[in-house]
Every structure is written in C-alpha cells, then in structure tokens.
Amino acid sequence: MSEQQTTLQAPEKRIVPCPKCGAKLYVTHKNVAYKCPKCNEFFQIQGKEEKKSLREVGSKFLTKIKFDSWKGWIYLLPTLILLAIFTVWPIINTIRISLLENYGALSAVGGESFNFGIGNYEKVIQYKGFLTCLKNTLLLCVLTVPISTFLALLIAVCLNAIKPLQKFLQTIFFLPYVTNSIAIGMVFAAMFNIVGSFIGTNNEIIITAGIMNNILGVFGIKPINWINAGSSYWANITVLVVYIVWNALPFKILILLGGLQSVNKQYYEAAQIDSTPRWRVFTRITVPLLSPMLAYVVITGFIGGFKEYSSIVGIFGESMGAPGAKGSLNTMVGFIYDCLGRDRDGVASAAALILFAIIFVVTMINLYVSKKKTHY
C-alpha cells in the first residue's frame, strides 16, 4: 500500500499599494484588514479588491448618522415644540406653584410675594374633605374598572362570534364613546330621577318614578330613591357606577375585539378537535392570548377612573352630590377644580401632584403585576 504525501499550500501572497501613501504591502486574501507600517493607516481588503481606509469609511458613516439624526430631529421639531409648550412647561410650572405657599393667580397679579415651602401639601392633607374625595375616587376605580373590563370582554367575544351584523353592532356600541359625557350624564339623571313632590319624605307624592324604577317595578321591586333629596350614598354610587361602566365599554370593546380578531384560529381548531368545553377554551386560550390587551385596558381604566369628574357633574351638577348632600361625591379632580375657582392655585397644584403620584404608583403596580401575568 503506497503512502500518499499531502502538501499544504501556503496562502497566496500579492502586492497591494497603501491607499494613503502608496507603499507596497504583501497581503493574502484571507486577511481582511491591514496596517501600513509606513503611515500607520488601516485599510480593508475584500477578496482581491482594495477598500478605502477604515478612517475614511468611519468618517463617512458618522457623517451619515449625524445627517440622518438631524433630519429626524427636524421632523420631530414641531411635535417637540407643542409637547414642550403644552405638556413639559405646565408640569414644571405646576411643581413651582405647588411650592409657593398660598399662591393665587389674582394675588400674584396684584404683586403679592409668596414663601417657598410645602405648606400647600399640608393644607391638602389637612383639608377635612380630602379623605372623602380620595375615598370616592378609589371606590369608583375599584368598582368600575373590573366590571367594565369583564363586560367588555364578554361583549367582544360575542361580537366576534356574530359575523353578519358585526360591523353594524360595532358602530352601535362605539357611539357612546363619541358622545358628550355631560349630555349622557343628563340623560342618565333623567332615567333615575323621580318626578313628584316632597321626594325623600314621608309625604312624598310621586308622579313618575323614572324609567329605571318603572323597569324594576316589572319585577316587583318598589321605587328606589336614586339621586333625589334624601337618597343614600350607596344609591348615588350605584348610579355613578352604571354610568361610568356604560361610558367606558365602547373603547374597551374596540380594543379587545381587535385583539380577538388577531388571534390565530389554529388554537380554536385544535380545541375543537379535542372537544374542549367552551368555558375552558375561554379561560385557557382566549383570556391568555388577550392578556396584553386586557393589561392595557385595565391600566388605562385606572388612569381614567382616578380622573373621574365629568360624570358626577353630568348627573348631580356642580354640587357633586344629591340635594342636601353637597360634596358627598366629590373626587380628587373635583377638589382641584374647587380650589382653582377660589384662587387657591397653590393648593390645587399640590393636590394635582398628589393625584399624579397616586396614579403613578397604581400604574407601576399594574405594570408589575401584568408583566407576570401577560403572555406575549
């Protein structure tokens, strides 16, 4: 048996001139970058073609990046100017005003000077109605967000299953979202209002108990004093919850329905082959796949709930409560507006920042929880 000798070929060498000084260099095709020993300049080799020096390539690349970044900043400039005027500066000014004790716009125009301190924050916390405003705000958030999210999910699932009238029903459900909230509140007030005399007393004379009481009367339920004089706190809260949930449904339905339509149908087909019960499909497929949208509507729901104000004004008016119970349903935003109307801008700014801090903390908690429960 003859032995075969294997010869290893050395890499092919060739002469390449330096692109800067012209000095001749021996290179191979396996190398990709070289340094000229004469001028210490780096340059690239690709195959058998010489490239420009790394310094020149890098310079042109950085120039292109700078030019592109400047183009981006120019495109963003109008938006950034608007954000700076209407968002950044108001926030900075609110912080400044909140630290000027007893600050008022009219007083400032009159030339009055104000001390720098945290007295406005102390006044907000010591205000006797502060806990009432905070309690009402938290209660409305806790009640309305879960109920509206659950109902929106059920309606979205039902709409997704109805193909013929789906677009028409989407339009119907979305109409409340584009309707003025004060006008809707007045309609709800008329629905829950009892028309008559001496309402809330033993001698009351009811002409009409209202639409809602008439509907309840069909089931044998006696008329309930929802919003008239003498109505209970929880009756008022019930009316507010019904209104806020109804008003919040359109946006949530739209978001969840869009998420449902993007779910891969193969999951449902596999469940159908396995004869999986519908409730299990809903809890094991639909809800997990919709978890990013659910997290979004919950977070935005809490943010909107903490800013609740117009719904209460629409139903109960500026008194923020039933007749004889002024301010009983006031919220944090209502408290801020009350302070602004009495030339207490410093206290209003402090209350706004306290509300911002509460919303920020609740949002961070929601983000932390949703990060663990969300399936992407």
What is the number of domains present in the chain? 3
CATH of the domain at 18: 2.20.28
Could you tell me the pTM of the whole model? 0.73
- Bigger pLDDT: 38 vs 335: 335
pLDDT on residue 359: 92
Above 70 in pLDDT, residue 337?
A: yes
Instruction: Indicate whether 52 and 70 sit together in one domain.
Output: no
Residue 27 to residue 199: CA distance in whole angstroms: 102
Statement: residue 17 has pLDDT above 90: no
Question: What is the pLDDT, as a whole number, of residue 8?
Answer: 45
Give the domain extent around 83: 63-109
46-85 pLDDT, tens digit each:
544 444 455 555 555 555 555 556 777 788 889 999 999 9
Apex 294 CA angle, 329 and 334, nearest 5: 20
pLDDT for position 282: 84
What average pLDDT is seen over the chain?
80
Give per-residue pLDDT as tens, 221-262: 888 888 888 888 999 999 999 999 998 898 899 899 888 888
71 and 44 inside one domain: no
Question: 225: closest CA among 324, 305, 145?
Answer: 324
CA distance 175 to 157: 19
Name the residue among 199, 192, 191 with its Cα closest to residue 235: 192
The alpha carbon dihedral of 82, 84, 85, 87 has a sign of positive
Whether 45 and 173 share a structural domain = no
Least confident of 12-16, 56-60, 89-93, 177-181: 56-60
Same domain, 35 and 80: no
- pLDDT score for 7: 43
In contact, 16 and 46? CB cutoff 8 Å = no
Would you say residue 213 lies in a domain?
no
Predicted pLDDT of residue 196 = 65
Domain presence at residue 80: yes
Considering the domain architecture, whether residues 104 and 128 belong to the same structural domain is answered as: no
Query: Mean pLDDT across the stretch 80-91?
Result: 92
Between residues 308 and 3, the one the model is more confident about: 308
In a domain, 212, yes or no: no
**Rounded percentage of the chain residues whose pLDDT exceeds 90:** 22
In the predicted model, what is the mean pLDDT of residues 4-27? 60
Of 81-95, 204-218, 298-312, the one with minimum mean pLDDT is: 204-218
Tokens of 359: 């919303």
Report yes or no on 22 lying in a domain.
yes
Residue 251 and residue 333 in one domain = yes
Q: What is the mean pLDDT of residues 333-361?
A: 89
Q: Which amino acid is at 342?
A: R
pLDDT of residue 88: 92
Do 260 and 242 sit in the same domain of this protein? yes
Distance CA 211, CA 2 (A): 109
- Whether residue 174 sits in one domain with residue 33: no
Same-domain status, 234 and 321: yes
Comparing 102 with 27, the larger pLDDT belongs to: 102
User: Are 150 and 272 members of one domain?
Assistant: yes
Instruction: Identify the pLDDT of residue 200.
Output: 56
253, 159 contact by CB (below 8 A): yes
| Plot region of 198 (φ>0 → left; ψ -120 to 50 → alpha; else → beta) | left
Question: Does position 91 have pLDDT exceeding 60, yes or no?
Answer: yes
